[in-house]
Structure 1
Amino acid sequence: MHGPTKQEITDLIKQEALHLGFTACGVATAGKLIRHEAHLKNWLKEGMHGAMGYMENHLEKRLDPRMLVEGARSVIVVAMNYFPTEQQNPGASYLVSKYAYGIDYHFIIKEKLRKLEERLKELAPQHQGRVFTDSAPVLERAWAVQAGLGWTGKNGCLIIPRKGSFFFLGELITNLELTPDTPFEKDFCGNCIRCMEACPAQAIVAPGKLDARRCISYLTIELKDSIPDELRGKMKGRIFGCDICQDVCPHNRFAEPTIETGLDALEFVRNWNDENWKNIDSQSFNRLVKKQNSPLSRIKFKKLRDNIEAAAPGTNH
C-alpha cells in the first residue's frame, strides 16, 4: 500500500486547517526570502524598529526558514479571523486593539497548529518540523504572500481578498515537500492611501514602510518606557495597540465576526467605562488581565497607567 501523494497530503492538510477553524491555509516552498532582504536591512539600518532590538537578531533565520528548521522544504501558513463579535463599550474613550479583546491568541493558535501537525504526522509519519505564531524569527506576512493568501497593504498588514486584514497568522514548517500555492502577486490597494492619511502619528512613512517609533501599537506595547511627550497628544484614546489603519481600509468592509469563541471579548474589555480604566489598580490588573491571560499582560501595570494618562481625552502636548 502506497501512502498519500504529495498533492493529496497538501489538500488534506488544507481541509484539516479549515476544519480546525482557520480561515485560510496556503503552502510555500521553504527558501530564502530574497525579495525582502534589502527592505528589512534598510528598515533596520534606518532605526525604524525603535527599541525592538530583537529584530536585529537572527536576521538570516528571519529570511530563511531552513535555518530555523533543519531540512525544511515547505511552509504551511494559516490565517485565523479575529474580527470581534462584540465591540468595546461604545461609551469608552479608552480603546483596546481588537486583537486584544479576548484571551491571548497565542494559546489558541498554537493548540490548533499542534493539532494540524498531528494530522500531518498521521498522513506522513516522516514529517519533522515546528509550529510558529508571532513568537519566533519568522517573517509571517511575507510567507503568507508566498503561500498565496493575500497581499501586503500600504499599512504593512496582510490583506486577504474579500476578507480583509483582521487575521492572526501561524506557520507549520515541515521537512515534507508539499505542493506549493502560487505566490500572491497582485496588489489591490491601487492609489488608495486612506491608512497613510488616517494614522494620527504619520507612522506609515511610505507605502509598506512603517516607522515603528511613531506607531501607536509600538508606543503602547513594545516601548517599555513612557510615551514621548511629542506623541502623547496623538493617541486617539488608544491604550493598548491600535486599529486605525485597519478600520479605515476599504477591504475591511468584508470583515465578518470570528467564529472562534476563545477570542470573545473578556467582560472587563466589553463593559468598562472611562472611570473604570482611570481607576484601575494593580489588584484589578492582576485579577482581570494577568489571571485571565489577556494580551494586556504583555505590558506592566505601570506602563498601562502611563498609556491611560497619555490617551486621556483632551491630552494634547
Structure 2
Amino acid sequence: MINNKEKYTHFIKAEAQRLGFLSCGISKAGFLEEEAPRLEHWLNQNYQGEMKFMEEHFDKRLDPRLLVHGAKSVISLLINYYPSQTQNPDSYKISKYAYGKDYHNVIKKKAVKLLKAIRVEIGDVPGRAFIDIAPIMDKAWAAKSGLGWLGKNSNLLTQQVGSFYFIAEIIIDLELEYDNPTTDHCGTCTACIDACPTQAIIAPYVVDGSKCISYYTIELKDNLPMELKGKMDDWMFGCDVCQDVCPWNRFSKAHSEPLFTPYPELLSYSKKDWEEITEETFSAVFTNSPLKRAQWQGVKRNIDFLK
C-alpha cells in the first residue's frame, strides 16, 4: 500500500519533470552542521570580497526552517542551460549561463508553478520557492538531495550531465521521502585547479571568490586591479574555465528551454562590435539579459581593460 509520503514524493518529482526541470531531489530540512564551520571560515578569510550580501543572514543560510517556519523538506531542482551554439571566436567571452534571458525569472516561474501544483494536489501547505538571490546554500542542499556532489571547483557536478545547470529550491512544511547524497567522483583530477586563470581555486573544494573572474567582471564595482592584466583570458562577463575543462562536462547536453535561446547579437558580435556598443544599443538589445547585472558601465569597464 502506498503511503502519503511516497505518493506526494512521486507526484512532486513527476510534476517537476513535466515542467522541464532536469532533476528533482528531496532532503529533510534541518541545520547544515557540516557546512556551518566551512561558511564561517570562508567568510573569516574574506573570500567573499565585496559581496557583502554573503555576510548577511548567516543563520538563515544554514537552516531553512528560519526561512519557512515549520519546514520539513527541501526540494532541490536543477534546470539545464548548456547551449547548442557558441559565440563568435573573435569575441570577448561571456559565461554560457548569460546567453539567454535572465534565469532568475525563468526558474522562479517554474518553481512557483510546481509549488502551486503541490497545493492543488495535496492542500494549502506552507512553502516558498527560492533561487540564488535568497540566503540559502543551494549547492549544499542539492548535494544532500543526491543530485550531485560538490566538485573541487565548488560547483555541483553530476556524472550524467556535468555542471551546466541552475539550482532552485522549494522549502515546504510537508514530510516527504528523502534522497541520499551521492559519492564524490572528482578522484585525483585537478583540471579545474590547474586551468583557473587567476588561481582562484586555492585548494581542492575551496574557492577564493574575491579572485574569481566572475567576481571581477560582475560583482566588483571598483576598477579592475592592474595585476589582472593578461590573466582574464578575454572574459568580459563571468567565466566558464573551471567548468569547460571538467571531464564530466563531456556529457553536457543542449538545453530545450526557449527562453535560454542565445541573443543573436551575443553570438555574432566581434570584439570590435563590443568595443563600439553604445549604452542605448546595449539597453535595447540585451533587455532581460543577465548582462544587465553588470550594467553597460561595468561591461564597458571590462572591455576597456581587456583591449
Large movers: runs of 4+ above 2 Å: none
2:257 alignment partner in structure 1: 260
2:162 to 161, 164, 170: 164
Structure 1 Cα separation of the partners of residues 6 and 138 of structure 2:
24
Residue 304 of structure 2 is matched in structure 1 by 309
Per the alignment, residue 25 of structure 1 pairs with 24
Tell me, yes or no, if the aligned pair for 1:235 and 1:310 is still in contact at 8 Å: no
Aligned-residue offset at 1:120: 0.7
Amino acid of the structure 2 residue aligned with 1:123: E
Q: Deviations over 1:55-111 (max 9, x none)?
A: 11100000000011111100000000100021111232x010000000101111011
Matched with 1:82 is: 81
Query: Mapping of 1:55-134 within 5 angstroms?
Result: 55-92=54-91, 94-134=92-132
State TM-score, norm by structure 2.
0.98
* Secondary structure of 1:233 counterpart: coil
Kindly state the Cα deviation for residue 267 of structure 1 after the two structures are TM-superposed: 1.3
Once the two structures are superposed, residues 150-196 of structure 1 have per-residue CA deviations (whole angstroms, 9 ceiling, x without a partner) of 00010010002221000100001000011110122x11000000000
1-side partners of 2:168 and 2:3: how far apart?
25
Which residue in 2 is equivalent to 1:247?
244
CA contact (8 A) 1:4 1:123 kept: no
Give the fraction of aligned pairs with identical amino acids, expressed as a percent. Answer: 45
Task: Work out the number of aligned pairs and report it.
Answer: 306
1:118 shift after superposition:
1.1
Distance in 1, Cα, partners of 2:50 & 2:165: 25
SS in 2 for 1:34: coil
CA RMSD of aligned residues (A): 1.1
With 265-274 and 3-12 compared, the bigger mean Cα shift is at: 3-12
Structure 2: tracts of 5 or more residues without a match: none
Structure 2 distance, partners of 1:75, 1:183, is 13
2:201 matches 1:199 = no
Aligned to 2:11: 12
Of 248-257 and 273-282, more deviation after overlay is shown by 273-282
Q: Could you tell me which amino acid in structure 2 is paired with residue 27 of structure 1?
A: I
Secondary structure of 1:234 counterpart: coil
For residues 305 and 240 of structure 2, the distance between their equivalents in structure 1, rounded to whole angstroms, comes to 17
Aligned 1:263-282 pairs, distance under 5 A: 263-282=260-279
Answer yes or no: is the 8 Å Cα contact 1:233–1:310 preserved in 2. Answer: no
1:151 to 2:146 alignment: no
1:164-183 to structure 2, matched below 5 A, reads: 164-183=162-181
**AA partner of residue 271 (structure 2):** D
| 1:34 aligned partner | 33
Structure 1 segments unaligned to the other structure (5+ residues):
313-317
Residue 311 of structure 1, CA deviation: 2.3
Q: 1:315: which partner in 2?
A: none
The alpha carbon displacement at 1:30 in A equals 0.3
2: distance between equivalents of 1:245 and 1:139?
Answer: 20
Partner of 1:296: 291
Q: How far apart are the structure 2 equivalents of 1:119 and 1:4?
A: 19
Quote the offset at 1:4 in angstroms: 7.0
- Inter-partner Cα distance in structure 1 for 2:305 and 2:23: 38
Structure 2 CA distance, aligned partners of 1:152 and 1:4? Answer: 32
Looking at structure 1, the residues matched to 52 and 229 of structure 2 have their Cα atoms a distance apart, in angstroms, of 23
